C-alpha cells in the first residue's frame, strides 16, 4: 500500500506525460516558425537579387540608348559636313573599361622593337667594319705589290705630268727599250761564245748592219707591228743567218 502523506504517483506520471507532450508540441511549432522564417528570407533574397538584375538591365539599356543617340549625332554632323575629308570619329571607350592588358602589350611590343633595332644596328656596324677591313687589306696588298712599268706610266698619265714621255709614247719607248736590251743581252751571249769579250764590238756591228738591211723588208711583209716586234723577228733570223759569227764557228 502507498504510504500515507506521499505524492500521488498517478498524478505525477500524468503531469510528466503532459509536460513531455507539450515539449514535443512546442518543438514542432518552433521548427515550423523557423521554416516559415527561412522561406521569408529566401523570398526576400530572391526579390533583392531580381531587383539588382532589373536595375543593371535598366542601366545597360540607358547606356545603349545614349550610345545610339551619340552615333546618330555624329552621323548627322558628318552628313552636314559633306566630303570635307575629316576622319570619322569613333565612339569613346567607356570609363569603366580597363586598359591594363593593352598597356602591357604596348610595353612588350616597345621592348621587342627596341631590342630588334639594337640587334640590326649591331649587325650593320659589324658588316660595315668587316667591309672596311677587307678594303684596307686589299689596298695594302695592292700597295705592296710591285707595279708593272707600263701600268705605272698609265698611272702617271692619269694623275697628269709635264713629261713628254707619257701615255702611249712612254709605253712604246719602254717596250722598245726592253726589246733592245733583250737583244743586246743575247748578242753579248753570242759574242762570248764566239770568241770572248774582244769579239763583242764586231758581232754587234754585224748585227746592226743586218738589222738595218732587213728592217724595210720586215715592215713591208708585216705592216702594223711595233718596232720591238720587228726587232724580235729580225733577231730570230739573225740566230739562223750565216752572217752570224756563232753560226760560222759551228760550220
In which band, very low, low, confident or very high, does the pLDDT at 176 lie, cut at 50, 70 and 90?
low
What percentage of residues in the chain have a pLDDT greater than 70?
A: 65
Q: In this predicted model, what pLDDT tens digit does every residue of 9-59 receive, in sequence order?
A: 778 888 888 888 998 989 999 999 999 988 888 777 677 778 888 899 999
| pLDDT value at 193 more than 50 | no
Calculate the dihedral angle through the C-alpha atoms of 155, 158, 159, 164, rounding to the nearest 10 degrees: 90
For residues 193 and 84, what is the distance between their CA atoms, to the nearest angstrom? 106
Asked if 202 and 245 touch (Cβ cutoff 8 Å), the reply is: yes
Half-sphere exposure of 27 (CA within 13 A, CB side): 6
Of residues 246 and 187, more confidence is placed in 246
In which band, very low, low, confident or very high, does the pLDDT at 1 lie, cut at 50, 70 and 90?
very low
Q: Report domain extents, the chain.
A: 103-145, 149-250
| pLDDT value at 3 more than 70 | no
Of residues 201 and 246, more confidence is placed in 246
C-alpha cell at 3: 504510504
For residues 56 and 120, what is the distance between their CA atoms, to the nearest angstrom? 53
Phi, psi of 3 (to 5 degrees): -70, 135
Closest CA to 149 of 179, 167, 174: 174
Q: In this predicted model, what pLDDT tens digit does every residue of 97-140 receive, in sequence order?
A: 455 567 777 777 787 777 888 888 999 999 999 999 999 989 88
Asked if 164 and 184 touch (Cβ cutoff 8 Å), the reply is: no
* Range with top average pLDDT, 77-81, 170-174, 230-234: 230-234
In which band, very low, low, confident or very high, does the pLDDT at 177 lie, cut at 50, 70 and 90?
low
Question: So what's the pLDDT on residue 133?
Answer: 93
For residues 102 and 110, what is the distance between their CA atoms, to the nearest angstrom? 12
Count of positions (residues) in the chain? 251
Calculate the dihedral angle through the C-alpha atoms of 115, 118, 122, 128, rounding to the nearest 10 degrees: 140
| pLDDT value at 214 more than 90 | yes
Amino acid at each position: 500500500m502507498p504510504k500515507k502523506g506521499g505524492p500521488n504517483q498517478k498524478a505525477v506520471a500524468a503531469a510528466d506525460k503532459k509536460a513531455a507532450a507539450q515539449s514535443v508540441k512546442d518543438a514542432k511549432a518552433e521548427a515550423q516558425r523557423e521554416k516559415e522564417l527561412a522561406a521569408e528570407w529566401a523570398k526576400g533574397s530572391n526579390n533583392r537579387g531580381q531587383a539588382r538584375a532589373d536595375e543593371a538591365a535598366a542601366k545597360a539599356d540607358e547606356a545603349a540608348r545614349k550610345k545610339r543617340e551619340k552615333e546618330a549625332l555624329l552621323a548627322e554632323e558628318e552628313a552636314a559636313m559633306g566630303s570635307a575629308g575629316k576622319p570619322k570619329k569613333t565612339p569613346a571607350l567607356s570609363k569603366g573599361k580597363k586598359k591594363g592588358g593593352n598597356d602591357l602589350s604596348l610595353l612588350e611590343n616597345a621592348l621587342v622593337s627596341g631590342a630588334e633595332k639594337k640587334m640590326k644596328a649591331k649587325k650593320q656596324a659589324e658588316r660595315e667594319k668587316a667591309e672596311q677591313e677587307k678594303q684596307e687589306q686589299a689596298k695594302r696588298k695592292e700597295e705592296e705589290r710591285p707595279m708593272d712599268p707600263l701600268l705605272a706610266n698609265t698611272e702617271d698619265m692619269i694623275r697628269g705630268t709635264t713629261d713628254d714621255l707619257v701615255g702611249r709614247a712612254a709605253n712604246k719607248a719602254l717596250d722598245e727599250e726592253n726589246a733592245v736590251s733583250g737583244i743586246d743581252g743575247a748578242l753579248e751571249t753570242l759574242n762570248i761564245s764566239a770568241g770572248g769579250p774582244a769579239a763583242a764590238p764586231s758581232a754587234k756591228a754585224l748585227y746592226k748592219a743586218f738589222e738595218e738591211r732587213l728592217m724595210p723588208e720586215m715592215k713591208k711583209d708585216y705592216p702594223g707591228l711595233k718596232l720591238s716586234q720587228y726587232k724580235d723577228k729580225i733577231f730570230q733570223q739573225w740566230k739562223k743567218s750565216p752572217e752570224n759569227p756563232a753560226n760560222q764557228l759551228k760550220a
